[in-house]
């Protein structure tokens, strides 16, 4: 009986092998399309032609970028509508931007994917050479500088995977997901100087079912920023620093905004950052909200503001709105968070007087002040409770 079962099992797989079509992958090497790995000749047309061929394929497709440096001298937009639902960029080299920041700086994006499905980026590096633009912005005459381009953006796309990519010296945001669904990001390394302006590591908005894991982000702004319309976001084992922390917001930029919900940040590590875990909104009317947020197991190492809710956000204190934030914040849990604060105020919850924060819960939080002063908390218009050991004392809650 056992031999008969084994024989039937084998016959089943033989029949499957015979009757099912073979799985094939078409490979497109950018060098075959004219790309030059010397970092001097513009390879933009070659990349676009390789994409067009992969996009037109009815099979799974891989666009191979061998070792070398490839100059992409203008904005590069990969459009959707492909026959192939599985296209992988296998990058073993580095894509480099022009030395003149003005070439990209007046556009919105350097490398963009629009309306695509089933795209993966594996390995490689993107060097946007943003240092000169940062210097322009930081100089006295910074008002004459272009805004700068996002290094890599995905818009209205789904089933996206990024693994092992490095993003260096972005002019503006490093990576943006806008209107996307089912995104998995892992083992990213993002690097920019700590004074580089507006160089958010990863920005997510109007997107759902996004996972960001096992990544290291060093930048001059938020390591991860979470905008309106984000739902079901999971962030785990991300190391941040330098940077401004992981932020929900800023919200209330517009009076009509979608909410942020179902966000989990687990086992993040913050090293010398301006903020740790932050929720921020401008003090103006808004239909926005933040709900069902879980901050779990974070470690703070000499962080200036470890836990922050700021509903009077105005980073440069110029032309600040004088209204009241309409953003409603509820059901936010801080659990198992420990480490050191570089300032005495380790926890600051500054909520809206019109819409107080509700359902705030702190469980087993232990934050001390790194300069030997006693750590303190500050909260206003915040309603919630504490469980277990919570340090500093949260009598203001």
Which token pair is 232?
């079901």
For residues 219-240, average pLDDT: 98
| C-alpha closest to that of 93 among 109, 112, 72 | 72
Query: In which residue are the tokens 């894509």 written?
Result: 95
pLDDT tens digits along 33-80: 999 999 999 999 999 999 999 999 999 999 999 999 999 998 999 999
Three-class SS state of 8: helix
Active-site positions read: 244
pLDDT tens digits along 168-210: 999 999 999 999 999 999 999 999 999 999 999 999 999 999 9
pLDDT tens digits along 69-122: 999 998 999 999 999 999 999 999 999 999 999 999 988 999 999 999 999 999
pTM: 0.93
- What angle (nearest 5°) sits at the alpha carbon of residue 11, between those of residues 8 and 16? 130
Domains observed in the chain: 85-391 (2.160.20.10)
Q: Encode burial over 199-235: b for 16+ CB neighbours within 10 A, e otherwise.
A: bbbbbbbbbbbbbbbebbbbbbbbbbbbbbbbbbbbb
């Amino acid at each position: 009986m056992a031999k008969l079962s084994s024989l039937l099992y084998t016959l089943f797989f033989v029949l499957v092998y015979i009757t099912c079509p073979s799985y094939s992958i078409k490979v497109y090497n950018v060098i075959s399309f004219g790309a030059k790995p010397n970092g001097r000749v513009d390879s933009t047309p070659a990349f676009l032609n390789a994409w067009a061929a992969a996009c037109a394929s009815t099979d799974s497709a891989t666009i191979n970028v061998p070792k070398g440096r490839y100059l992409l001298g203008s904005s590069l937009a990969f459009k959707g509508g492909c026959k192939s639902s599985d296209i992988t960029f296998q990058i073993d080299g580095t894509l480099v931007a022009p030395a003149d920041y003005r070439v990209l700086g007046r556009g919105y994006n350097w490398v963009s994917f629009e309306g695509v499905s089933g795209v993966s980026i594996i390995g490689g590096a993107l060097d946007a050479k943003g240092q000169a633009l940062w210097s322009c912005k930081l100089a006295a005459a910074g008002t004459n500088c272009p805004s700068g381009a996002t290094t890599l953006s995905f818009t209205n796309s789904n089933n996206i995977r990024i693994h092992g990519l490095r993003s260096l010296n972005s002019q503006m945001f490093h990576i943006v997901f806008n209107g996307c669904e089912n995104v998995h990001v892992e083992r990213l390394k993002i690097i920019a100087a700590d004074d580089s302006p507006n160089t958010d590591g990863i920005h997510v908005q109007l997107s759902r079912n996004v996972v960001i894991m096992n990544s290291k982000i060093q930048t001059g702004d938020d390591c991860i920023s979470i905008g309106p319309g984000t739902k079901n976001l999971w962030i785990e084992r991300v190391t941040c620093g330098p940077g401004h922390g992981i932020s929900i917001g800023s919200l209330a930029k517009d009076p009509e905004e979608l909410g942020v919900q179902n966000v989990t940040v687990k086992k993040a590590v913050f090293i010398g950052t301006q903020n740790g875990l932050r929720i921020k909104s401008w003090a103006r009317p808004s239909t926005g909200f933040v709900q069902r947020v879980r901050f779990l197991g974070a470690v703070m190492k000499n962080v200036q503001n470890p836990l922050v809710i700021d509903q009077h956000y105005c980073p440069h204190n110029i032309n600040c709105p004088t209204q009241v934030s309409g953003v409603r914040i509820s059901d936010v849990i801080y659990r198992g968070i420990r480490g050191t604060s570089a300032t005495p105020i380790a926890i600051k919850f500054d909520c809206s007087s019109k819409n107080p924060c509700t359902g705030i819960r702190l469980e087993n939080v232990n934050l001390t002040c790194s300069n030997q002063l006693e750590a303190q908390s500050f909260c206003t218009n915040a309603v919630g409770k504490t469980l277990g050991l919570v340090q500093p004392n949260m009598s203001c809650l």
